[in-house]
Structure formats: C-alpha cells, structure tokens
Structure 1
Amino acid sequence: MTVWYITDLVGTSVFAISGALSALSKKMYHDLFGLFFIGFVTAVGGGTLRDVIIGAHPIAWIRDPNYLVVILSSVILAVLCRRWWLGALQRPLLVFDTIGVGIYTILGMQKALLFGVNDWASILLGVISALFGGVIRDTLVNDLPLIFSKQLYATPCLVGALLYLLGRALPIDPNVTFIASVALITLFRLVAIRKNWALPQIKQ
C-alpha cells in the first residue's frame, strides 16, 4: 500500500466519523444503517462527484472494498466513543471535518492533475472533493451547509491549493508539498474557527 492510498483511507475515516457524529448530535438516526449512510455520503460524496467529472472509472469505493470497511469501522468507532467526542472534545464535528477537508483538497487535486486537467480546474475539483460530502451531510441532518455560512470554509482550501501548485512548480519533495498544503488548510481553518474570521458580506 502506498502512502497516498493510506492517506486516502485516513481521510475517508475522518469524514465518516464527522458524518456519524453530526447525525448523532442531531439525534436523527438511531440505527447503525442510518449512521453508516450519513458517514458514507460524507466520506465519498465529494470524491465520487470528482471522479464522475473527470471520468475516473471505476470509482474508488466501487473498485476497492477497503473504503466501505473503513467507513463502517469509523462509524462504529464514532458510536462507541460518542459520549467522549460529543462531550469532552471541543467542537468535534468541526475538528474532524477540518482534517478531512485538508486531506481531500490536496488528494482531489492530485487525482485531477493525473487525469490531465489544467491547474485551475484541479483547484476547483480539489475543493469539490473536500466540501461536497459535507454539503450532503449537512443537508441530510437539516443544517445549513458550512460552505454557505459566514465562516471561512472554502477560502483555506483555496489557499492550500495554491500552495500545492506553487510547490509543484518548485524543486521541492512532493511529500513535503503535500504535508505543508494539508497542514496550512487545517491550521488556517482551525484558527479561523477560533478567531471567528469571516469574509466581508455582500450587503443587500
């Protein structure tokens, strides 16, 4: 297994936990199948849309059963640890969501670039990979999707994506570029949450 494959599975797990915790916090889903479904669409929704757009077939979770095993295991872990995560960990949904967003923005860009898309399209596809699953999750649990809130959500993804493109153009180890870009997205988003940063709103 390559480092990128393992990283993809880690991102899948993080998003699945985020989806399950979101459903549990709303007390909308009381059975494992319902929680699995929310975790599933959160984990693979964005990547599936990206793969459909670029024509990457078969889609990863259809070809490789490890993705479904990871999602199910992560949902079970979320259920078993729900009292601690929803009680002791500050803003757990945002923490897990932010880590997943950082990983999938860059992984999504990498895959898009491998399929020959231009640099700017790869940024958009990376953001789709990272955010679309969360949009589905929030819609299903009757929340306003974070991308439509006043919080900085897509902006950290764009900044990290630009750093990744810059790193690709320079003689820098690709692993270093990947880690730095994911870290920038994650830290930028977490600081924005803590400081309540937001872009200026368009006045009506």
Structure 2
Amino acid sequence: MTELLYYLDLFGVVVFALSGALMAGRYKLDPFGVVVLASVTAVGGGTIRDVILGAYPVFWVANPVYLWLILFTAILTILIVRRPKRIPKRFLLIADAFGLALFAVLGTAKALSLEAPMPVAIVMGTLTGVAGGMIRDVLCNVIPMILRQEIYATAAMLGSCLYVALDYFAFAQNTSLVLAICGALALRLAAIYWQVSLPAFHISEKDAGQKPDKTQDKDT
C-alpha cells in the first residue's frame, strides 16, 4: 500500500466514523452505541470485502490504528457535538459522501492489488463504499440510502469504474486515485445539492391486478 493510499484509507475511516457517530446522536444512543455505530460504519464495508477476497488478516486486525481512530472520532464527536439534531442533515450527507467516494475507490484499488478481475474489483469497490452505511442505517431502523431513490451506489460504481479504467490505461496510481475519488464525490455531492434521484419503481394495486382494500374485516 502506497503512502497516499494508506492516508486516504485512514481519512475515509475517520469520515465514516463521524457519519456513524452523528447518526447515533440523532437517535440518542448511549456512548457505547455511538462507538458501535461509528465502528460498523467505518469498517463494515472493508471487512466484508476482505472476507470475500480472502485478504487475511482483515485490515483493522492487521493494523489496530483504525480502531483507535474510530474510538477517538466517536469520543470527540460526543464531547464537541452536544446537540446532533441541530446539525443540518446535509452535513451528515456530505460526510457520508466523502466516505463513500474514498472507500469505493480504495476498495477497488485493493481488489486489483489482490489480482481480482476488473468486474469483481468494481463490485468489491462498490460494496466497500456502501456496506458500512447500509449496516448503520439498518441498525437505526431506517431504509438504507442504497435502497432509496438517492444517487448513492451509482456514485460508488462510477468511482470504481473510473479507477479501473485509469488503471487499465496505465495512469499513475496517485493520479488514478485522485481522479476517481473526485468523480464519485462530484456525482454524489451534485445529487445532494440539486436533489437529483433515480426514478422510483412503483407498482400500484391497480397495476398489480388487486383491488384496494377499503374496508377492514369486522369481528364476528
């Protein structure tokens, strides 16, 4: 792992841990809950990626610095951010966008370094970017952003595809990393700013051939 790759990975862990800690504050979790939510958000996607690719030991087991960063970020968030509900929701989305872009591209780079085929690398990169946030949302009992109309997984896939393409054409790794991360981040931030979303798939009861149930069965 190059020095730039390593420091970007650390930054991604911090950003996603912040995202998880802020979400925990919105739902009034205790300090242990804050640390748990920050942890699963920060390392969830990378852990799944490493297990699937057989990259043992998992990255945070091999380097406990990641865990210390998560713990420090969670505690700092508790101490500094006294009222999470007063923080604009857009701030949480922006923090999540940075983590998404970083982890999608870094996950792709790691998969390629392990000689995974290009399609597999793209899937692993996308998974690295979205899985942590998905686990976070499930634990908070909200529909994960990846399953909503938000341009979320699409941005992760764009970053992964950009990195694979640039790597294929033999661009310098640092250049490929920066360009791919910027591409994924730009798409996600644009979607947040202009509230752009994918069309929803909806089947009405009429289209499904079912009559709306306007009455409830009465007790007999």
Q: TM-score range by the shorter chain?
A: over 0.9
Post-superposition shift, 1:116?
1.4
Match of 2:157 in 1: 158
Structure 1 residues 108-117 or 48-57, which shifts more?
108-117
Post-superposition shift, 1:16?
0.5
Aligned ranges for residues 59-78 of structure 1 at < 5 Å?
59-78=58-77
Once residues 136 and 201 of structure 1 are traced to their aligned partners in structure 2, the CA distance between those partners, rounded to angstroms, is 22
Match of 1:98 in 2: 97
Post-superposition shift, 1:148?
0.6
Give yes or no for contact 1:19–1:39 (8 Å, CA) kept in 2: yes
Query: Aligned pairs, how many?
Result: 202
Q: Which has the higher contact order (CA 8 A, sep 6+)?
A: 1
Report the aligned-residue RMSD: 1.6
SS where residue 93 of structure 2 aligns? helix
Given the two structures, how large is their TM-score scaled by the length of structure 1? 0.93
Post-superposition shift, 1:133?
0.7
Post-superposition shift, 1:84?
7.5
Q: What amino acid sits opposite 2:132 in the alignment?
A: G
Give yes or no for contact 2:137–2:144 (8 Å, CA) kept in 1: yes
Once residues 170 and 113 of structure 1 are traced to their aligned partners in structure 2, the CA distance between those partners, rounded to angstroms, is 14
Post-superposition shift, 1:202?
2.6
Which of the pair is proportionally richer in helix? 1
Match of 2:176 in 1: 177
Give yes or no for contact 2:4–2:174 (8 Å, CA) kept in 1: no
Q: What amino acid sits opposite 2:57 in the alignment?
A: P
Once residues 199 and 174 of structure 1 are traced to their aligned partners in structure 2, the CA distance between those partners, rounded to angstroms, is 32
Describe the shift of the 1:197–1:63 C-alpha distance in structure 2 as closer, same or farther (beyond 3 A).
Answer: same
Identity %: 37
Q: Deviations over 1:113-132 (max 9, x none)?
A: 11111101101100111111
Give yes or no for contact 1:85–1:92 (8 Å, CA) kept in 2: no
Aligned ranges for residues 48-127 of structure 1 at < 5 Å?
48-83=47-82, 87=86, 91-127=90-126
Describe the shift of the 1:86–1:178 C-alpha distance in structure 2 as closer, same or farther (beyond 3 A).
Answer: farther
Give yes or no for contact 2:108–2:164 (8 Å, CA) kept in 1: no
Describe the shift of the 1:19–1:88 C-alpha distance in structure 2 as closer, same or farther (beyond 3 A).
Answer: closer
Alignment pair present for 1:6 and 2:7: yes
Once residues 116 and 105 of structure 2 are traced to their aligned partners in structure 1, the CA distance between those partners, rounded to angstroms, is 14
Post-superposition shift, 1:80?
2.4
Match of 1:186 in 2: 185
Q: Which runs of 5+ in 2 are unaligned?
A: 204-220
Q: Deviations over 1:49-77 (max 9, x none)?
A: 00000000001111211011000011112
Larger of the two Rg values belongs to structure: 2
Given the two structures, how large is their TM-score scaled by the length of structure 2? 0.86
Q: What amino acid sits opposite 1:62 in the alignment?
A: V
Q: What amino acid sits opposite 1:7 in the alignment?
A: L
